[in-house]
Structure 1
Amino acid sequence: MIYTEVIAMAYDGFVLKYAIKGLAPLLQNRVDKIDQPEKDQILISFRNKKRLKISINPSMPYMTLTDTKKPNSPTPSLFLIMLRKHLRGALLQEVVQLGDDRQVHFEFLSRNELGDESKVVLVLELMGKHSNLIFMDETHHIIDALKRVPPYMSPSRPILPTLKYQPMTSDQQAILGTSEAEFTALLKDLQDPKSLAKALFKRFQGISPALAGFMVQKHHLDSEDLPASARDTALRALYRDLRDFEPEGFYIFTDDHHHFKDFHMVPLKEYPLRREYGDIFEMIETFYTTKDQQVHILQRSKSMRRTLEGRLKRTQSKIQHLREELRNAEGAEAFKIKAELLLANIYQLEKGLESVKVTNYYTGEPLVIDLDPRLGPKENISAYYKKYHKLKDSKSHLLHQLNQAEAEIEYLETTLVSIETAGGEEDLTAIAEELSLEGYLKKRGYAKARKKPPGFHRFVSPAGFEILVGKNNRANDELTFKVASKQDLWFHTRNIPGSHVVLRLKGRLPDEQSLLLAASVAAFYSKANLSSNVPVDYTEVRQVKKPSGSKPGFVNYFEQKTLYVTPREELLMPYKG
């Protein structure tokens, strides 16, 4: 899998330290089985039903406890075979972090081929593109590594079987190995907040840039007016805060598009939105699972979005051209009037005249009409009538083309919204099938009719009303015209591309909270999902009509009412079923 975004040290040494505390249930437990769901991921299951997931993906290395069970790779790697040979049935005795750094040793008590007990160590290095998982014996000789590093790649630190393991080294200090006086002496002359945060990140182990920046702000060391005595006090408080670090919560931070950007155990200020979780492993697992899915969807949908955005740009240009032609066609009526005036004044006309002055009986004003001197009176009148009919027919054709182009714009924008809100591979495949059937993508097996019906997002209001959302344009049609009953309520953002939403009533009258929730869902699954006071129309399903021959998802509706809502994902997701 190709990742387009590198997460800058979200999983820092302080997150790792607290995660290790959470591994206490694994201690003195034996390994049950070991799997390798992906080439850079190992899943160790223990007999107490706990699972340890380790990933050394260069963009997203992490360690967590997980409840998720992913299918194993069909062909076990040599590293997996070696782990199974030595660790199956082994007892996890200790988990040790090296200083405050992102290196951890899992120490197991195993049995060798002779049945004798021996100590083996699994070393996890969470170091970005240098991340690795290394298996060594009690003499620290490498048995194998998930990512072998030959001498030509790293002459100073090769990682190959039988070689002596060399820990990663750096000039950074551990906070626990630094005194308060030494800490303040190192940082006291750094007045600029950025320089101070950078020094924390560069000089001390395990501190991410985000955590460094937060700590500088928290202790008001970003203030230019801080007196020297107060600054010294603040630095000492900062040192104690890092030395005795305790989580303030477990947060995932997102951008305005709800894409996961970072996570930590402190409320970072630089992101507009955040979500809070119950424990560290829920935070880590949610972040990396969702981030992996978001990046995968981004890669999977890239060609689709590029195709649609290109078509959208061309269609918008076509609309501008059509509107210009329509403005020119608006002059058709003037040619008709001139033809009628020439006919009424035919007695003044003769061949060879270049113009004639007549009275416009519509306005009472004099009007000079140009003539073709090569034509006689009847031919000049006929020429004006021909221009009139040509422009009139052109106008009708142009209006038809304009309506088609505007419908295509709505279809393309709605499809882009569906791609943005896609929940996974299946949703994207359904969208690709639809685009293939509509002629936007080449047919690569997508055009075969799906046996599986289109899927819907599902929400349930506090009053128990079911709310369904079409995941793509075909699903929108399926929902509105096949699944919903005529008495159900249908929701859609007014004049804004988005999904069809149905509030299923089943003979009940909806309460106000359910109406507002359905409207908020419609706004969230629309192009206006980042806007405030979004207008959402709603009406009975029987008032929704599909024009003959229109594209998937296109409808007209009547007898609507309007609600104004501000969609917020964190308020909607608790109701998603």
Structure 2
Amino acid sequence: MALDGIVISNLVYELNQTILNAKISKIAQPENDELLLTCKGSNGQYRLAMSASASLPFVYLTSENKPSPMTAPTFCMVLRKHIANGRITRIYQPHMERIIHFEIEHLNEMGDLCKKSLIIELMGKHSNIIFCKDDGTIIDSIKHVSSMMSSLREVLPGKMYFIPSTQDQKHNPLMVSREEVLSIIKNKPLSLTKAIYSSFTGISPLIASEIAHRAGVDGDQPTAAFSEDELLHVANHFCWFMDEIKNEQYHPAIIRKGREPIEFSAVKLTQYQDYDCKEYDSISSVLEMYYSEKNVYTRIRQKSVDLRRIVTTALERNQKKFQLQQKQLKDTDKREKYKVYGELINAYGYQLEEGSKELVAPNYYDNDKLIKIPLDPALTPLENSKKYFDRYGKLKRTYEALTELIQETQNEILHLESIQNSLDIALSSDDLVQIKEELIEYGYIKKNRNAQKTKIKSKPFHYISSDGYDIYVGKNNYQNDELTFKFATGNDWWFHAKGMPGSHVIVKSKNEELPDRVFEEAGKLAAFYSKGRDADKVEVDYLQKKNVKKPNGSAPGFVVYYTNYSLTIHPDISELKLMES
């Protein structure tokens, strides 16, 4: 996530187009570190949301309203006292910092025109919203920062406001020439991307990486690895990039991997050409959508932490057990040798003298090649033969038992990996309910006898193909079984990623011959909702449902089939239409 100086400059540009000269008609503080300003002007009414949250600071225009507390917090009351009905006369970003200044004109109690500043600093854990007089004296802030909290700057009523000293250490990227860029980065003993983002204000690692990508060089390489001409080429691209910002050539966009948002930007990101990139008209729309979508994935991952830990622990335990069992199985490879020894002693032992330490005899299992068999001189040939047969019998029994145990362990690993995949594709608390039930059923979680049975609300994903066919994707093993063996009919088509945990995908055929495009789209879904979703290509098996069988006593989601077609496909489902459940 890159709420950097570039995104802030896009925000400032957008705010100047929408709420400049607008009147602040309403001020609310829905959360301890959030403000919501309603602004009315010639362009209409807008809501400006801003947050100084340490983990998720933001500023954007929104259509959503948030309920406010019955009693307004002190900071909100101070703002209402001074700037309610005030007019926003200037919006700017100083030195490409992650800061937005709002200059506001208002009438005081005497009817005189006064000026105030509302300053939003979007700096991670140091984020703040600060309200100042025209001369820079702090009136109040949404977070008070004392000298005990920061030795660099106090943010308290009565103190003078100043920007933290990062601008003394970094250069304004809008004010440098290509020769200055070259001089700055070539003297940094860092990787190229780090040399860029650590030298210039408002440049994030994402933007530094983008500049390196546009220049066609590896940004992870140290600056010393490049020639001066190569660094000059990078400096050219840096300046061309900043020209886009100077000329307000913004392209707000969200980068998604499948349906999960992974990045947002105010400019085109050429380094993400293999991902789905959707551009928007407004950077506010990008921020609002990104934060809400990202929050879904973040929240569900937090809720599934306990289940993930249980599955991971059980999986690691079974993988260690599997390795140990394989080692023990390898030790039983000698069993056939001992059987041959016993048989050859029985066949040729009559020739032995009493007290012999070995038998040299032709091995009729290996073209009568001579073989040396160690003997215990204290035992008779018959007793030596019995000793080898006893070893053979013990190792044979061990081999048979281990072969069965290894298969059971492999099945348990596959089962746990399938549950792990279900956790990866879960999008809501309801999706986790059936996964937890499965873990309880198979003894990974202790059953609470007093717990009331939870109503199952989770349903399979439902997609519509480009040709109008219904495609269903199971979110977990129970849904996979339900789809395949209760919902699908014999002539429907069944898809699954080959040789890896993944969802069952059913295409309702309507007893018709399906177009090739439907097979491709269903294959993409099977690939995406599998463990191979991050691979470039995934092999997918598909066949009619009537040829899919479930072995008796097998775990949920486990099936077998003996005849199928295959396709290899890129797991990109960005163009497929997901129906609301």
1:338-385 deviation line (CA, Å, top 9, x unaligned)? 555555678668986655566655556266655555556665555444
Q: Distance in 2 between matches of 1:476 and 1:353?
A: 66
Q: Does structure 1 residue 133 correspond to structure 2 residue 129?
A: yes
Residues 471/347 of structure 1: CA separation in 2 closer, same or farther (3 Å cut): same
* Counterpart for residue 141 of structure 2: 145
1:557-577 deviation line (CA, Å, top 9, x unaligned)? 2322111111125445x5565
1:292-334 deviation line (CA, Å, top 9, x unaligned)? 4444455555555455444434433332332333333344444
* Counterpart for residue 254 of structure 2: 252
* Counterpart for residue 61 of structure 1: 57
> Comparing 459-468 with 355-364, which one deviates more in the overlay?
355-364
Q: What is the 5 A alignment of 1:181-196?
A: 183-184=176-177, 187=180, 190=183, 192=185
Q: Is the 8 A contact 2:117 2:134 kept in 1?
A: yes
Q: Does structure 1 residue 323 correspond to structure 2 residue 319?
A: no
Shift of 1:518: 0.8
Q: Is the 8 A contact 1:121 1:137 kept in 2?
A: yes
Partner secondary structure for residue 459 of structure 1: strand
Q: Distance in 1 between matches of 2:252 and 2:78?
A: 32
Which amino acid in the other structure matches residue 497 of structure 2?
T
1:382-424 deviation line (CA, Å, top 9, x unaligned)? 5444433333322221111111111122223333333333324
Q: Is the 8 A contact 1:43 1:54 kept in 2?
A: yes
Q: Is the 8 A contact 2:23 2:85 kept in 1?
A: no
* Counterpart for residue 35 of structure 1: 30
Q: Distance in 1 between matches of 2:295 and 2:6?
A: 15
Shift of 1:136: 5.7
Q: What is the 5 A alignment of 1:271-290?
A: 273=275, 275-279=277-281, 280-290=283-293
Give the percent of matched residue pairs that are identical in Structure 1 and Structure 2.
31
- TM-score in terms of structure 1 length: 0.77
Residues 468/8 of structure 1: CA separation in 2 closer, same or farther (3 Å cut): same
Partner secondary structure for residue 499 of structure 1: coil
Q: Distance in 1 between matches of 2:555 and 2:485?
A: 14
> Comparing 497-506 with 141-150, which one deviates more in the overlay?
141-150
Q: Is the 8 A contact 1:454 1:478 kept in 2?
A: no
Q: Distance in 2 between matches of 1:112 and 1:381?
A: 111
Q: What is the 5 A alignment of 1:3-152?
A: 7=2, 9=4, 12-21=7-16, 23-24=18-19, 27-28=22-23, 30-31=25-26, 35-36=30-31, 39-44=32-37, 50-67=46-63, 78-79=73-74, 82=77, 90=85, 93-94=88-89, 96-99=91-94, 100-106=96-102, 122-135=118-131, 144-152=140-148
**Correspondence for 2:417 among 391, 406, 413:** 413
* Counterpart for residue 505 of structure 1: 509
Q: Distance in 2 between matches of 1:353 and 1:532?
A: 66
Q: Does structure 1 residue 494 correspond to structure 2 residue 484?
A: no
Q: Does structure 1 residue 561 correspond to structure 2 residue 561?
A: no
Partner secondary structure for residue 158 of structure 2: coil
Unmatched tracts of structure 2, length 5 or more: 218-225
Aligned residues: 560
Q: Is the 8 A contact 1:40 1:146 kept in 2?
A: yes
> Comparing 54-63 with 205-214, which one deviates more in the overlay?
205-214
Shift of 1:152: 2.6
Q: Distance in 2 between matches of 1:63 and 1:371?
A: 86
Q: Distance in 2 between matches of 1:418 and 1:328?
A: 37
* Counterpart for residue 269 of structure 2: 267
Residues 203/498 of structure 1: CA separation in 2 closer, same or farther (3 Å cut): closer
> Comparing 510-519 with 293-302, which one deviates more in the overlay?
293-302
Q: Is the 8 A contact 1:528 1:534 kept in 2?
A: yes
Partner secondary structure for residue 183 of structure 2: coil
Residues 339/493 of structure 1: CA separation in 2 closer, same or farther (3 Å cut): same
1:418-463 deviation line (CA, Å, top 9, x unaligned)? 3333324444555445334434456689986432154323321111
Partner secondary structure for residue 414 of structure 2: helix
1:136-192 deviation line (CA, Å, top 9, x unaligned)? 6788775653322234324664334x535624354478788x6xxxx5498277275
Shift of 1:212: 6.2
1:205-235 deviation line (CA, Å, top 9, x unaligned)? 645465467568879999944999x999999
Q: Is the 8 A contact 1:54 1:64 kept in 2?
A: yes
Q: What is the 5 A alignment of 1:81-480?
A: 82=77, 90=85, 93-94=88-89, 96-99=91-94, 100-106=96-102, 122-135=118-131, 144-154=140-150, 157-160=153-156, 162-163=157-158, 166-168=161-163, 170-171=167-168, 183-184=176-177, 187=180, 190=183, 192=185, 206-208=202-204, 210-211=206-207, 224-225=228-229, 241-247=244-250, 249-253=251-255, 260-269=262-271, 273=275, 275-279=277-281, 280-302=283-305, 304-340=307-343, 365=368, 372=376, 382-428=386-432, 430-441=434-445, 449-480=453-484
Residues 225/139 of structure 1: CA separation in 2 closer, same or farther (3 Å cut): closer
Q: Distance in 1 between matches of 2:344 and 2:212?
A: 84
Which amino acid in the other structure matches residue 556 of structure 2?
P
* Counterpart for residue 526 of structure 2: 522
Q: Distance in 2 between matches of 1:363 and 1:227?
A: 70
Partner secondary structure for residue 525 of structure 2: helix
Which amino acid in the other structure matches residue 510 of structure 1?
L
Partner secondary structure for residue 556 of structure 1: coil
> Comparing 211-220 with 163-172, which one deviates more in the overlay?
211-220
Shift of 1:130: 1.6
What value does the CA root-mean-square deviation take over the aligned residues?
Answer: 4.9
